[in-house]
Amino acid sequence: MSKPDSPYAITLADVTAAADRIASHVWRTPAINSDALQELTGRTVVLKCESMQRTGSFKIRGATNAVRSILEADAPRGVVTHSSGNHALALATAAAERSMPAHVVMPENASPSKRAAVVRAGAHVVTCGNSGAEREAMAAEVQARTGATMVPPFDHPWVMAGQGTIALEILEQIPNAGTLVIPVGGGGMLAGMAIAARALRPDIRIIGAEPELAGDAAESKRTGRRAPQRPPVTIADGLRTSLGELTFPVIRDLVDDIALVSEDEIIAAMRIIFTRAQLVIEPSAAVGVAAILAGRTGGNMNAPTVCVLCGGNVDLMHLPWSALPA
């Protein structure tokens, strides 16, 4: 893991090691040049489709890197995490593949379909209260009881390094990428990708994209101090968490800017991706697209803007717009 002389939790070497470790367990997702977004923005926009990733989100990268990093002696006691979303399914899947038990603490208000998917993937689900504090307390209790290794959703070197592998793939797929637009919740993906991309391409522009209603990353970057978690109100349910102790310093130092978008902009962008780019995405994945459409990501008009579509797990029976444009 991180070298003593590095100011951050991980280095490029951790990300490249993660890429080797997870290569045969995760998918190399397509990077699609979107003619529709080019028409709308005048820019070359490439969509990195982690929405098509195994388990439906990028989270399988960090989860697999964590599961595969655990020592043989610790493996039988399994892993534990708290998550109501994509990280839970990813960790359950990665653990099952190494035949390790997985304990997933999920709040009472988690969606029944997500809970069922986690159970189907073979995890033991433990129900807890809905607050972040209750979730963390229950996860700690399960860890103490089972001796399982804690794999938190973002603030861990293994997880950050795994998510960072997205940047390695992008730079192979689009060597002349000018700007990376990356949704930010807890910051595991943004920090991991920033470590790798900044090391390989010091000149690249790195923009986090965040809902206004969950704008703690923008605030943290502006004030230089990690802002607290906000009430979970944004539709982008994957981005409701605040930055972590390990992700914040990377984002503070290596990310150029955080672009904020409104809820209406997120929904409009999601609809455009469904109806013009013909891709299924979840609301969190629309946040970067919304920032690009709003002209808030900047950068050179002539170099491709690459937007990470972070996940595609969405309830298709309840899309957040009431009717399609005629």
Residue numbers at the binding site for its own copies (CB under 8 A): 27, 30, 32-36, 49, 51-52, 54, 56, 112-113, 116-117, 274-275, 277-281, 312, 315-317, 319, 322-326
- Nearer of residues 49 and 191 to its own copies, judged by Cβ: 49
Interstrand relation of 45-49 and 79-82 (parallel, antiparallel or unpaired): unpaired
Coil, strand or helix at 217: helix
CB of residue 266 to its own copies, shortest distance in Å:
17
Whose Cβ is closer to its own copies: residue 174's or residue 250's?
Answer: 174
In the complex, minimum distance from the CB of residue 4 to its own copies, in angstroms, rounded to a whole number? 39
Report the nearest approach of its own copies to the CB of residue 183 (Å).
16
CB of 30 or CB of 129, closer to its own copies: 30
Give burial (CB, 10 Å; 0-12/13-18/19+) of 116: exposed
Dihedral in degrees, nearest 10, Cα atoms 310, 316, 318, 323: 100
Annotation marks residue 2 as catalytic: no
In sequence order, what DSSP letters do the residues of 87-149 get, joined into one string? HHHHHHHHHHHTT--EEEEEETTS-HHHHHHHHHTTPEEEEE-SSHHHHHHHHHHHHHHH-PE
Is residue 221 annotated as a catalytic residue, yes or no?
Answer: no
* Coil, strand or helix at 307: strand
Structure tokens at 95: 């653990």
In angstroms, the CA 199 to CA 3 distance is 15
| Closest by CA position to 147, among listed 72, 78, 81 | 78
- In this complex, which beta carbon is closest to its own copies, that of residue 57 or of residue 149? 57
Comparing CB distances to its own copies, the nearer of 109 and 322 is 322
| Comparison of 54 and 82: residue with beta carbon closer to its own copies | 54
Nearer to its own copies, 2 or 38 (CB): 38
The b/e string for 166-204 (b: 16+ C-beta within 10 A; e otherwise) is bbbbbbebbeebbbbbbbbbbbbbbbbbbbbbbbebeeb
Q: Which of 34, 84, 242, 284 is catalytic?
A: 84
Task: Write b or e for each residue in 255-279: b if 16 or more Cβ atoms lie within 10 A of its Cβ, otherwise e.
Answer: bbbbbbbebebbbbbbbbbbeebeb
- Here the tokens at position 89 are 């399914």
Selecting among 48, 51, 59, 220, the annotated active-site residue is 59
> Closest approach of Cβ 58 to its own copies, in Å?
13
Catalytic machinery residues = 59, 84
